[in-house]
């Protein structure tokens, strides 16, 4: 049974203001601010009865929209995610399941072999999409796999899966005429038969999850809609991909 919150519009002057202010004093547990903001927003919309899930959904949306500003720097919109502890004690950052409600135009391919010739991928409109796949490490002979995202107009976001050195890099220096830098991270390949990859792209950001959500690269990419190409190339051999799923992402 769902938990419900019933809102009485009558004004009562019995709130322990001092106790309430003490509860909100410590910002270390900032979820309580999102909880209060969610309830205030629902009340302002004329809601008199709501569910626990509705409040949580509002909290997730408010947390996602938060953008920090410090010394001229603005953060980017991460996908809302759960943080879990895996069996081996490593943290996992898993996108919330509600993201799947945005999926449309789904496509699934069981297997694909990628060589040096560019292999084109269709995922939604090439701007807002989700892409899942597994790299078969037992069948892959390539030294590296290069994936170009938001490709067009001579620009691209370049992701390099370096199997020879167990390393993932994401280069955004030629992605949009604005972004700079390359992000780096290790790939845990030893003893594995496959490497999972999940990519999210939208109008202004790209996020790449690998290694059972324990490795995450997130960045702004301010590319125009004409940058909607996706391609792959393998070097030093071939890369074998399994269970390739692509979806467009759109508000219903």
227 and 167 assigned to the same domain:
yes
188 and 233 assigned to the same domain:
yes
Nearest 5°: the CA angle 225, 97, 81 is 80
Quote the pTM value: 0.73
Number of Cβ within 10 Å of residue 113's Cβ equals 13
DSSP secondary structure letters along the chain: ---EEE---S--S---HHHHHHHTT-TTSTHHHHHHHHHHHHHHTT-SEEEHHHHHHHHHHHHHH---EETTEE---PPPEEEEE-TTS-EEEEE-GGGGGGEEEEEEEEEEEE-SS-EE---TTSSSEEEEEEEETTT---SEEEEEEEEETTEEEEEEEETTTTEEEEE-TTSSSS---EEEEE---TT-SEEEEEEEE-SSEEEEEETTTTEEEEEE----TT--EEEEEEESS-EEEEEEEEEEE---
The owner of tokens 């467009």 is 248
Asked whether 242 and 131 are in contact (CB, 8 A), the reply is no
| Rounded distance between C-alpha atoms, residue 230 and residue 159, angstroms | 11
Tell whether 93 is covered by a domain. Answer: no
For residue 167, the domain's CATH number is: 2.60.120.560
31 and 147 assigned to the same domain:
no
112 and 59 assigned to the same domain:
no
33 and 151 assigned to the same domain:
no
Which pLDDT score, from 0 to 100, does residue 69 have? 40
Tell whether 87 is covered by a domain. Answer: no
Tell whether 62 is covered by a domain. Answer: yes
Cα dihedral sign, 83-89-90-92 = negative
How many distinct structural domains can be found in the chain? 2
Q: Which class for 94: exposed (0-12), middle (13-18), buried (19 or more C-beta within 10 A)?
A: middle
Tell whether 71 is covered by a domain. Answer: no
Q: Which of 66, 89, 112 is the last residue of a domain?
A: 66
230 and 106 assigned to the same domain:
yes
Tell whether 195 is covered by a domain. Answer: yes
Domain that holds residue 39: 4-66
| Rounded distance between C-alpha atoms, residue 176 and residue 156, angstroms | 8
Note down pLDDT in tens along the chain; length 252 residues.
Answer: 456 666 666 766 777 777 777 776 665 556 777 788 888 888 888 888 888 888 888 887 776 555 444 334 444 557 888 888 888 888 899 999 988 999 999 999 999 999 999 999 999 999 999 999 999 999 999 999 999 999 999 999 999 999 999 999 999 999 998 888 899 999 999 999 999 999 999 988 999 999 999 999 998 898 999 999 999 999 999 999 999 999 999 876
Which pLDDT score, from 0 to 100, does residue 150 have? 97
């Amino acid at each position: 049974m769902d938990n419900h919150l019933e809102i009485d519009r009558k004004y009562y002057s019995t709130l322990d203001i001092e106790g309430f202010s003490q509860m909100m004093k410590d910002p270390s547990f900032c979820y309580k601010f999102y909880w209060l903001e969610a309830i205030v927003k629902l009340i302002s919309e004329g809601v008199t009865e709501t569910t626990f899930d509705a409040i949580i959904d509002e909290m997730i949306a408010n947390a996602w929209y938060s953008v920090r500003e410090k010394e001229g720097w603005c953060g980017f919109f991460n996908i809302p995610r759960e943080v879990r502890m895996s069996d081996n004690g490593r943290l996992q950052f898993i996108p919330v399941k509600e993201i799947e409600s945005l999926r449309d135009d789904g496509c699934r391919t069981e297997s694909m072999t990628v060589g040096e010739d560019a292999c084109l991928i269709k995922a939604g409109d090439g701007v807002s999409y989700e892409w899942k796949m597994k790299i078969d490490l037992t069948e892959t002979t390539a030294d590296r796999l290069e994936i170009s995202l938001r490709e067009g107009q001579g620009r691209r976001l370049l992701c390099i899966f370096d199997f020879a050195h167990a390393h993932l890099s994401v280069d955004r220096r030629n992605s949009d005429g604005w972004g700079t830098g390359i992000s780096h991270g290790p790939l845990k390949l030893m003893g594995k038969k496959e490497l999972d990859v999940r990519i999210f792209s939208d109008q202004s950001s790209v996020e790449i999850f690998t290694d059972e959500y324990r490795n995450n690269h997130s960045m702004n990419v301010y590319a125009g809609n004409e940058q909607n190409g996706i391609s792959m190339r393998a070097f030093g051999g071939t890369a074998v991909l399994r269970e390739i799923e692509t979806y467009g992402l759109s508000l219903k």
